[in-house]
Amino acid sequence: MTVKLSSLALALLVGTSLSAVAQEFSDNKVKIGILNDQSGVYADFGGKWSYEAAKMAVEDFGGKVKDMPVEVVTADHQNKADIASNIARQWYDTEQVDAIMELTTSSVALAVQGISAEKKKIDIVTGAASSDLTGKACSPYGFHWAYDTHALAVGTGGALVGQGGDTWFFLTADYAFGYSLEEQTSNFVKSKGGNVLGAVRHPLATTDYSSFLLQAQASGAKVIGLANAGLDTANSIKQAAEFGIVAGGQRLAALLFTLAEVHGLGLEAAQGLTLTEGFYWDRDDASREWSNRFMERTGRMPNMIQAGTYSAVTQYLKAIDKAGTDETEAVAKNLHEMPVEDVFARGGKVGANGRMIYDMYLMEVKKPSESTQPWDYYKVLATIPGDEAYIKPAEAGCPLVK
């Protein structure tokens, strides 16, 4: 009780002693929390590099918005939704955090988006895939920035057919995430005139893919789609290389794989792999300049999660700048309305369901002989326009969009 009283007294004191700005900015600063996995399986996917990207965004913005200092805090949720939920609530309730971003792992993202909606705070997800975040679990203050399962399925499934990959065979992780990736991707393959020859399911966290890969090889399909994630994808790619699947003329298509994982596997194993990402550092001068600065700070090139976090923080600060306040409703309104134009997204826009819509790229991993410098990993096969890649806000199943 004493704590409450004294903080109330303090608030009154601060309130009376400061000018009009104090009413427009909660507690006289803008505080952004980066919450993700920094010690577990997704530590490279976003990890503490996303925190670094967020700090870069604040520095590039000048460290201040409307003369209010901007602070970035971070925490490692260890892939546990309860830890994430505990930290998120504590941040909002006692540590004056105004927005939480990144949120790798869908169980965490869904939980924190729920809390944010309840507490009327902004959350911007860059690290999680589930398209439910802007579908049935959407929030008026929740945004989904970097990618989602739908965009990956359209990118890899739909666009690859256009590149001649018209017969498919799936290697699917035997649980809900795998099924939905396989189903969504098959739909796009079929809608583009392709053919799905079959699928084989493997248990989560399998270490031996030989029998599954042999079936895939024997199917004669031009493309083998990997509807799995994380270590499962990495292991299946490595073993596919040992079986000479890509060398034999078949194509491997990973549905959720980024530059960080390609770097982890190495070009020898990953060559010829097709995947979809929303960002590549070697895209144009602006992206090269920014990525090289990121490289200097972290010793690695950014993937779409890290670059997306940079973009999300920047856009959030722009929205505050335009609104002149960090009050949630006003900032969320601006975030919905303002176009996204930065190093990450060109001509991006935000739908009423909170989905940031921007162009995705279908990439092919280079052969070791084609790579001329460190981190020179991708060839861009096709650009998928944002409107094709993402579900239309009205069709996403979000109850907020009529």
Would you tell me which residues interact with other proteins (CB under 8 A)? 1-4, 38-40, 48, 73-83, 85-87, 89-90, 93-94, 105-107, 110-111, 114, 130, 132, 137, 174-177, 203-204
8 Å CB contact between 48 and 311:
no
Q: Which is nearer to other proteins, 4 or 17 (CB)?
A: 4
Q: Which is nearer to other proteins, 88 or 356 (CB)?
A: 88
CB of 6 to other proteins, least distance (A): 12
44: CB partners within 8 A, 6+ apart: 260, 261, 264
329: CB partners within 8 A, 6+ apart: 120
Q: Which is nearer to other proteins, 38 or 156 (CB)?
A: 38
CB of 73 to other proteins, least distance (A): 7
CB of 35 to other proteins, least distance (A): 9
Question: Of 144, 50, 135, nearest to 386 (Cα)?
Answer: 144
The one-letter amino acid code at 126 reads T
CB of 401 to other proteins, least distance (A): 19
Neighbour-count burial for 18-57, b at 16+ CB within 10 Å, e otherwise: eeeeeebbbeeebbbbbbbbbebebbbbbbbbbbbbbbbb
Q: Which is nearer to other proteins, 204 or 295 (CB)?
A: 204
Q: Which is nearer to other proteins, 229 or 259 (CB)?
A: 229
Q: Which is nearer to other proteins, 48 or 288 (CB)?
A: 48
Q: Which is nearer to other proteins, 76 or 123 (CB)?
A: 76
CB of 86 to other proteins, least distance (A): 6
CB of 220 to other proteins, least distance (A): 29
CB of 398 to other proteins, least distance (A): 15
Q: Which is nearer to other proteins, 39 or 195 (CB)?
A: 39
CB of 81 to other proteins, least distance (A): 5
